[in-house]
Chains A and B, each alone.
Chain A
Amino acid sequence: MLALLTRDLRLAVRAGGGFGLGLGFFLILCVLVPLGVGPEGGRLASIAPGILWVGAMLACLLSLDRIFALDWEDGSLDLLATAPLPLEGAVAMKALAHWIVTGLPLVIAAPVLGVLLHLPVAAQPWLVVSLLLGTPALSVIGAFGAALTVGLRRGGLLLSLLVLPLYVPTLIFGAEIVRRGAEGMALATPLLLLTGVSLGSVALLPLAAAAALRINLR
């Protein structure tokens, strides 16, 4: 299973792997928003938590269809399904690779973009914490959506339609943590809820995704 992880990471870093594209998208979004809503610091500060979280979510969404589509096209998925490692494990590893390639860079870059959007300093650590807790859920939920749509032509658009509603709880709790952090309010509740959503997704969705893959391979 580790071999699968290292292979996926290697593929992402090689030419055409798309490493850093999500991050670039995130950056552009955070530049475009002030251009759209105006440069006032106060207004930006108040919407910064939401923008940063929605931005992270969309950046994550961009690369989802690549999780399984390439392996499907070149036949690797058939081989993985007949290989001795459980397909659930393979799904989890591929979601982990997606997180390392897409989610983790977002977490690391977020404070810089927070500064651009006038996010209060008090909220900065919470932005990092919430993204660190939430982005794994985004990757796993996305992997489930990608598994559902893997065999489809033009699956990309459908994938966003399926996955974005599933992102609602993660987005709400994640952005709420940052907002409360900015206002200096107690944030144990959303923190716990986000952790719960993340852990539950990571534990259960690989099962559903593997089931969907098996159905698609039939």
Chain B
Amino acid sequence: MSSQQIPEENLPVEQGTAHGAVEGAGDPFADPGLPAHKPRIQDIDERAANRSERAVALMFTLSMLATVGFIASYVIFPVDKIVYIWPFGHVSALNFSLGLTLGLALFLIGAGAVHWARTLMSDVEVADDRHAIEATPEVKAKVLADFADGARESALGRRKLIRNTMFGALALVPLSGVVLLRDLGPLPEKKLRKTLWAKGKQLVNMNTMEPLRPEDVVVGSLTFAMPEGLEEDAHDFQSQIAKAALMIIRIEPDNIKDKREREWAHEGIVAFSKICTHVGCPISLYEQQTHHVLCPCHQSTFDLSDGARVIFGPAGHALPQLRIGVNSEGNLEALGDFEEPVGPAFWERG
């Protein structure tokens, strides 16, 4: 399917080959050539030209003043001064004055230059020839001949052993660079399957940092919890909380539709992963009447009274539930880790 198969008559006739009135005296659509230049007021009236000059000079002068204003603002306004400016409201005096003066200083240089170009510089349109980009056949022939000479002198085509080993060496050497990238990070292994939760770990209220007790969790409330022992100043706090964050709500046990959910709950207190199974945003919008939670990022909606199944949005599967109970001190505790990986799905999730 090359161009050679296309007959020339499919291509339109090119119009006009050179600038200026050329072809077909009888053709009403023939190119009449460049129109005559229409002089501007500045071209014929010296006073108008002088006015333009003064306008341009005024803009450049105002720009200088604006730059002085910029430096003055920098010196005068303290960095934390807030002022009220209508209609922008309460703004930083420094940011506002620096931005306006800098903006003016720059804008006026531009406006002056453009006004100068438009009113005082020649606006006579001129035509320049284009030249074919493709090389002439002679040039092409010379280049091909030169290349053939060079290729022959290199003996690359004749001495195949050199050629093949060179290609081999060049193909292999980038592997070193690839190998060097290996330590960018560890292998996934089972990391995405495990969280800090384990049998006997107490649920810590993220607001009070105290262990949660069943009586703290009332119907209609939403509580966020993390495993005991995880400290905010731990070096891996962010990575751990990204998997372990929990949502705790209480539903009347009779209102829990999913049998497993009821079994894994403690007196209607259920613990679900807070990390959305879509792409991992923390879910935070809870509708207490319907027991729906909504992820504010992509609006996946889960029904917490029915095994946290997806009822709307792009998430692909239910939120994992954590099995909980009460320990001897009367605090809520986990009865194990999540049974499935939390957060977004991945190839090895299965």
Tell whether A and B belong to one assembly.
Answer: no
B residues with a Cβ closer than 8 A to A are none
A residues with a Cβ closer than 8 A to B are none
